[in-house]
Structure 1
Amino acid sequence: MARAELTPQEKQLKKEISATLNRLLEAKGCKKIDVVNGTGINNSTIYDYFNGKFLPTQKNVIKLAAFFHVKPEEIDPRLDPTPSNAIPINRIELHRIPVIGTIACGDPIDAEQNVVDYLELPGHLPDGAFALICEGDSMEPGLQDGDRVVIEPTPNVEDGEVAAVLVDGDTKATLKQVRHVGDTIWLMPTNPAYSPIVLDKDHPGRILGKKIQMIRYGSR
């Protein structure tokens, strides 16, 4: 059953669409009968739209838009593909962070401290954040070869968090899940084909920071 009453928003929308259609008609320099002939919409329906008596259907809005050579949402804002709560891209704050070499998701690789690229990411990022390129498969399936991992610089990492760690006298870097066991730190892979790396007083390491975000790039 059709509703007896329109909402206040729908009543206002009828007025806006009517005003838009009449403005477009005047700008095009034609008559309503031309709109009827050009769209195939029947005469009484066209007049009802122009007089603000009825809201046009989506199908008819598209026909009207084609006739006037405008986007459908310019006639009826209900057809705007942009969500009403979306933030325009020019209002999103982007943060530019450096991509610093690669880090092993496997056996540790030589640490590289050269900036090889930059990422621009939306939202809040901690001071000094940087990204590393994953290499290897020891952290699959969560992290894959070629992924970019955003790191928050911090020496404090909780059990279960993934950290970027320098090992072997700060000459090699690896990305692993951290587990504290007594006075040792175990760097745990998620791929069972790999063994943990144990850090202790004889095999020290230095935590660069923890993973806070991952960007999937696929295979490098």
Structure 2
Amino acid sequence: MLRIYDKLKPNRQKIVYETAEQQYNEQNNVIELPTNNEVEIHGAVSAGTGEYLLDGKTELVPYDGEVPPHDFALVVNGDSMLPLFEDKQIIFVNKTKDVRSGQIVIADYDQQAYVKKLVKDENGCRLVSLNKQYKDLPINEEHETSIFGVVVL
């Protein structure tokens, strides 16, 4: 087995090593604790009444946990997406305009940024809060709406 490993290029050797290490840890019930990371925050997004997004200033903040692949990170302000997202939680977003009904999105709605669930059904298209204390935001010709991306975590 070592002969095959030695014939691999370094990047493939690294994959073999990491896979073997993961298997070893699982076998021995080793639990990896979250690492302390830093995340570059690109502003805040409202889980409530809306706010301006991407003012050009970024901030490096500590983050305990695994950072998923993402295009940008934001801080949630408000409680309209409880229980999924809490006030001041960091969320990670992939930039895309290709979204499906049911996905959690970052949307510009009448020049205000929101984190909401996109719903498209027989009642039309709208941005929905998970906290039922907040009204849906209808997507129609009366409102300027665009999508920044989809929340990945």
- TM-score class, shorter-chain normalisation, is 0.5 to 0.7
Gaps of 5+ in 1: 1-82, 214-220
| Preserved CA contact (<8 Å) 2:108 2:148 | yes
Alignment correspondent of 1:201: 141
Distance between the aligned counterparts of 1:113 and 1:183, measured in 2?
34
Structure of higher CA gyration radius? 1
Alignment correspondent of 1:187: 127
In the TM superposition, what are the counterparts of 1:53-64 in structure 2 within 5 Å?
A: none
> TM-score, normalized by length of structure 2?
0.67
- Relative distance call for 1:144 and 1:96 in structure 2 (3 A) is closer
In the TM superposition, what are the counterparts of 1:20-39 in structure 2 within 5 Å?
A: none
Taking every aligned residue pair, what percent have the same amino acid on both sides? 20
The structure carrying a bigger strand percent of its residues is 2
In the TM superposition, what are the counterparts of 1:79-98 in structure 2 within 5 Å?
A: 84-85=24-25, 98=40
Q: 1:175 aligns with which of 100, 108, 115?
A: 115
- Relative distance call for 1:114 and 1:183 in structure 2 (3 A) is farther
Gaps of 5+ in 2: 1-22
Alignment correspondent of 1:30: none
Distance between the aligned counterparts of 1:96 and 1:137, measured in 2?
24
Secondary structure of residue in 2 paired with 1:178 = strand
Alignment pair present for 1:125 and 2:65: no
Runs of 4 or more, structure 1, over 6 Å off, are none
Distance between the aligned counterparts of 2:54 and 2:92, measured in 1?
16
The structure carrying a bigger helix percent of its residues is 1
Alignment correspondent of 2:41: 99
- Number of aligned positions between the proteins: 124
Higher relative contact order (CA 8 A, sep 6+): 2
- Relative distance call for 1:203 and 1:182 in structure 2 (3 A) is farther
> TM-score, normalized by length of structure 1?
0.48
Alignment correspondent of 1:144: 86
How far the C-alpha of 1:175 sits from its partner, in A, is: 0.5
